[in-house]
Amino acid sequence: MFKALVGGLALTLLPLVAGAQELDSGDTAWMLTSSALVLFMLLPGLSLFYAGLVRSKNTLSVVMQCFAIACVASLIWFVIGYSLAFSDGGSMNWFIGGTSKAFLSGVTFDTLSGTIPESVFIVFQMTFVMITPALFVGGFAERIRFGGMLLFTILWIFAVYLPLCHWVWGGGWLSELGLMDFAGGTVVHISAGVTALAAAVLLGNRTGFPNTPMAPHNLTIAVAGAGMLWVGWFGFNAGSALVSDGSAGMTMLVTHLAAASGSLAWMAIEWLKHGKPSVLGIVTGMVAGLGTVTAASGYIGPIGGVLIGTTGGVVCYFATQFIKRTLKLDDSLDVFPVHGVGGIMGTLLTAVFGAAALGGVGLEGTIAAQLKIQAIGVVAAVGYTAVVSYILFKLVNAITPLRVDGEEEQQGLDLVCHDERGYNF
């Protein structure tokens, strides 16, 4: 059973070669729904969440960035992304896939990926490549030029996302090693978090940070977006089961418990430390719980979900304080301390709570042996993403300046980059 689960989405490649399974309408219906849910968590969920957290003069800029990234990533996936992530790369398969599926060659109404149409698997995975770079928008919010951001994102998808996706889910070296990453602790959250931190360091802090207050301009919008993220995350995690059965049901259950636990943990810390619980805190705790449980979600039981979610809420809270207050790094919307730290912690804890003795599906070896594999995956994802993102930022900045100047930042990116206002009253 463990061998069937490890590698997560990579197992869908086997039926493409063998043609051994038949279409299951229930699985197909669930995966169609899951794909829509993940798109919902990006557009409008993440867009509204980020829009409410920035200042009013930058509301449209983050919405536009999320929307444009979704469109560009979709076409990259169609042209060559899916092929590089999920086809056989021959002698280079340890690192990247091949070009046999370029322009979705060979994908017809009848081709299957496991028990679902290959077209459905393609669109489900397309939503992952859309939302991952949209997450790191929060790291450089309110100070980056739209054109430079878009060029960086295109290069980043090719140089970072597609190799990581292939390593973990497409039959690459981490998949062969036995890394357990059910829905994207490494591929999505670590890569987005580390990229956001690199961007924050290279672009520098927003003018006035940390002395000038930069409070969210509309928490109501942010909470609405957060609610959409919570709902959409069911497709993100439970959809990664790729079937409509008990494994998807358990994944949805532990995902929900982690979200609730992370929310309450963050809220409780704020309440104890500051005397009042904040709305911003409870929704950020939710995202921390969800991001932390993502890697483990298909391998653990309910107790694991509660404990991982709670740990995520606590650790990510203190990581946020450390980044902002101690290091004084302006990761605008706390992408690294929430997604990056949560992804790292969740990937490691998968080796613990995935054990059968703790309610998980069971490990092939010992907790220590699996923890070593998980640690290798974390180090590889962090190191590779950091180095390549740094190089890409330097390259793009040499082509076109990434940061707006002081006067433009003061005016706001809505007007400077798009000649529009988020509010006209």
Indicate whether 416 belongs to any domain. no
The pLDDT, as a whole number, for residue 44 is 95
CA distances from 27 to 239, 240, 241, 245 (A): 10, 11, 10, 8
Question: Residue 63 is part of a domain; what is its CATH number?
Answer: 1.10.3430.10
Determine how many CB atoms are found less than 10 A away from the CB of residue 379: 11
Indicate whether 286 belongs to any domain. yes
Angstrom distance (rounded) from CA 331 to CA 206 = 9
Amino acid present at 122: I
The pLDDT, as a whole number, for residue 29 is 98
Work out how many domains the chain is built from and give that number.
1
Q: Which domain holds residue 264?
A: 24-400
Q: Please list, in sequence order, all residues whose beta carbon lies within 8 angstroms of the beta carbon of residue 279, skipping any fewer than 6 positions away.
A: 219, 223
Angstrom distance (rounded) from CA 383 to CA 235 = 29
Indicate whether 196 belongs to any domain. yes
Three-state SS at 116: strand
Please give the distance of CA 367 from its chain centroid, rounded to a whole number: 26
User: Are the beta carbons of 311 and 288 closer than 8 angstroms?
Assistant: no
The pLDDT, as a whole number, for residue 425 is 76
Determine how many CB atoms are found less than 10 A away from the CB of residue 8: 23
CA distances from 329 to 193, 203, 220, 325, 396 (A): 13, 10, 26, 8, 22
Indicate whether 1 belongs to any domain. no
pTM: 0.94
Indicate whether 172 belongs to any domain. yes
Angstrom distance (rounded) from CA 75 to CA 78 = 5
Picking from 311, 295, 303, 288, the residue whose alpha carbon sits closest to that of residue 348 is 295
User: Are the beta carbons of 182 and 240 closer than 8 angstroms?
Assistant: yes
The pLDDT, as a whole number, for residue 21 is 78
Per-residue pLDDT of the chain (425 residues), as tens digits, is 444 344 455 444 434 433 457 999 999 999 999 999 999 999 999 999 999 999 999 999 999 999 999 999 999 999 999 999 999 999 999 999 999 999 999 999 999 999 999 999 999 999 999 999 999 999 999 999 999 999 999 999 999 999 999 999 999 999 999 999 999 999 999 999 999 999 999 999 999 999 999 999 999 999 999 999 999 999 999 999 999 999 999 999 999 999 999 999 999 999 999 999 999 999 999 999 999 999 999 999 999 999 999 999 999 999 999 999 999 999 999 999 999 999 999 999 999 999 999 999 999 999 999 999 999 999 999 999 999 999 999 999 999 999 999 999 999 999 999 999 999 87
Indicate whether 421 belongs to any domain. no
Indicate whether 407 belongs to any domain. no
User: Are the beta carbons of 394 and 122 closer than 8 angstroms?
Assistant: no
CA torsion angle 206 65 215 317 (round to 10): -90
Picking from 167, 82, 91, the residue whose alpha carbon sits closest to that of residue 122 is 82
Apex CA 9: angle with CA 164 and CA 303, to 5°?
Answer: 100
Angstrom distance (rounded) from CA 28 to CA 267 = 38
The pLDDT, as a whole number, for residue 15 is 40
Angstrom distance (rounded) from CA 157 to CA 132 = 9
The pLDDT, as a whole number, for residue 9 is 53
Look at strands 112-113 and 116-117 and give their pairing: antiparallel
Determine how many CB atoms are found less than 10 A away from the CB of residue 253: 16
Location of structure tokens 């739209």: 146
Indicate whether 114 belongs to any domain. yes
User: Are the beta carbons of 125 and 85 closer than 8 angstroms?
Assistant: yes
Angstrom distance (rounded) from CA 8 to CA 359 = 19
Q: What is the DSSP letter of 205?
A: P
Determine how many CB atoms are found less than 10 A away from the CB of residue 367: 15
